[in-house]
Amino acid sequence: MMKIIKKFSVMIKLLLLSLLLCLTPLDRVTPTFKQYMDFLHENTISEKTYGVEEYMCGDYAKDTIKALRDSCFPVFFAIVDFGGEVNHMAIIFPADGKWWLIEPQTDELLTDTWIGRRGYVEVYRDCTVGQTGIAVCKGFMFEYWF
Are 14 and 38 contacting, i.e. CB atoms less than 8 angstroms apart?
A: yes
Burial class (CB in 10 A: 0-12, 13-18, 19+), 122: middle
Greatest mean pLDDT among 18-27, 52-61, 98-107, 125-134: 98-107
Query: Right CATH number for 2-145 from 3.40.50, 3.30.40, 1.10.12, 3.30.460?
Result: 3.30.460
- Least confident among 36-40, 44-48, 102-106, 132-136: 132-136
User: CA–CA separation, 94 vs 133, rounded Å?
Assistant: 26
Instruction: Convert the pLDDT of each residue in 72-129 to its tens digit.
Output: 899 999 988 777 767 788 899 999 988 888 988 888 887 654 555 667 788 888 888 7
